[in-house]
Amino acid sequence: MTSHVTPDSALRGVGGDGDQNGPRHSPHTAAATSSPPATDATALAATPASATAAASNSAQKFAQKSARGSASGPAKTRRPRIRYNRTESRWGYAFVAPALILFAIMGVYTIGYGLALSFARWNGFSPNWEWVGFQNFTDLLFGSKTYAPRVQAAALNTLWVCIAVPVLTIAVSFPLAIILNSAKRFQGILRSVYFVPYVTTGIAVYLAWQYILEPNGAINGLLRVLGLGSLTQPQGFLGNPDTALPTLIIVLVWSAVPVAMLLYLTGLQSLDTSVFEAATLDGAGWWRTNTSIVWPLLRATTGIVFLLNLRDALQGFQIFLIMTNGGPGNHTNVLGLETYRLAFLSELSPTLGLASALGWMLFLAALAIALINQRLEKRAQ
């Protein structure tokens, strides 16, 4: 693990642009920013976990590139005026145009629309929006008798998921990566096998889980065979309000372990082996080496894994929609699912503004977590 850059350096980092020859990009800054792990860019990236990793990586490449550029670039105070070649500029705009047009329609417009809608009351059919200011937000948080209790219950469930999924994912993937790293043969094929839950994540796999979690499904059967009959669930694991949420958490961890394991594995393989030799000479055993040396050295990776899963847990809801649809009795309702229900499953009630407001609150929560984490990391330095 080497590269984690603050988001603004990621944003500053396009190579070769005129307003970008920022003198702050010395190789030193590139190196310095690489140590605080898991910044906003990592915390909030788009869906596939890889996106995040990729983002932080390329961000660093950009930073380095700019760094190289600035070494030969002009002095600190003067903002250079780049002379843009007219033909080259035209080609530039032409190359960006398709992406930009699509982005203007599907990105800018929809984000703006969603933001505006969060301040309005609308049922999706009436011709006009009724502007209500921040009332959607206050209704969701405490104002409304109908929605506030549901949102609070969903928030509690979300909190459980947000704590349990990252922690359990780390608890499984870190030892797994260490053990996999010590395997010389079959490492590649095992890594691929472990990856299957991640690449197949989706409705097909969730239905398979549903099938084996049925009252007379394979998991209950397995427990009986193992002599753990007392743990079987006669109503099925998803039918019992007490076990439904923990079960979904386990399935979420199962799909999250592959990427976390890969990140740890990469981190392990980039560690300097002389550290281990020194530790061994000092008499540290296997357990001690891993807990006192490897674990602290891979703290940056742990930060990334934690934040990635925290963000997914906060905003993701597909598994809840498919496997339980919030049931039994709203025991597995989470905030993402509540947003979805308000937006698409509330018939003619004017809840679209509420849905939008809840979505933006989730966004703000994720942002806040990322910022707090960044602070803590900085302080820990």
For position 129 contacting other proteins by CB under 8 A, the verdict is no
Distance of alpha carbon 136 from the chain centroid? 26
Measured CA to CA, the distance from residue 49 to residue 41 in angstroms comes to 12
For position 201 contacting other proteins by CB under 8 A, the verdict is yes
C-beta of 19 vs 130, nearer to other proteins:
19
Q: Are 168 and 176 in contact (CB under 8 A)?
A: no
Q: Return the closest-CA partner of residue 44 out of 373, 267, 320.
A: 373
C-beta of 216 vs 379, nearer to other proteins:
216
Nearest approach, Cβ of 3 to other proteins (angstroms)?
Answer: 3
- How big is the chain by its Cα radius of gyration, in Å? 25
Nearest approach, Cβ of 144 to other proteins (angstroms)?
Answer: 19
For position 359 contacting other proteins by CB under 8 A, the verdict is yes
Question: How many other C-beta atoms can be found within 10 angstroms of the C-beta atom of residue 368?
Answer: 10
Q: Which of 128, 216, 274, 381: binder of other proteins (CB under 8 A)?
A: 216
Nearest approach, Cβ of 290 to other proteins (angstroms)?
Answer: 9
Cis before 197 (ω within 30): no
Q: Which of 162, 256, 260, 362: binder of other proteins (CB under 8 A)?
A: 362
Measured CA to CA, the distance from residue 326 to residue 335 in angstroms comes to 10
Q: Which stretch binds other proteins (CB under 8 A): 133-141, 145-153, 335-343, 372-380?
A: 335-343
12 three-class SS: helix
Q: Are 325 and 352 in contact (CB under 8 A)?
A: no
204 Cβ partners below 8 Å, 6+ apart?
Answer: none
C-beta of 17 vs 242, nearer to other proteins:
17
Measured CA to CA, the distance from residue 263 to residue 248 in angstroms comes to 23
For position 125 contacting other proteins by CB under 8 A, the verdict is no
Q: Which of 164, 252, 366, 369: binder of other proteins (CB under 8 A)?
A: 366
For position 183 contacting other proteins by CB under 8 A, the verdict is yes
For position 297 contacting other proteins by CB under 8 A, the verdict is no
At which residue do the structure tokens 């500053």 appear? 12
C-beta of 189 vs 379, nearer to other proteins:
189
Site for other proteins in 27-86 (CB under 8 A): 40-41, 44-48, 50-51, 53-62, 65, 82, 84-85
Q: Which of 114, 241, 327, 328: binder of other proteins (CB under 8 A)?
A: 114
Q: Say if residue 146 is exposed, middle or buried (CB neighbours under 10 Å; 0-12, 13-18, 19+).
A: exposed
For position 127 contacting other proteins by CB under 8 A, the verdict is no
Q: Are 314 and 154 in contact (CB under 8 A)?
A: no
Which residue type does 206 have?
Y
Q: Which stretch binds other proteins (CB under 8 A): 69-77, 131-139, 155-163, 200-208?
A: 200-208
Q: Which of 28, 288, 375, 378: binder of other proteins (CB under 8 A)?
A: 288
Q: Which stretch binds other proteins (CB under 8 A): 129-137, 158-166, 231-239, 272-280?
A: 272-280
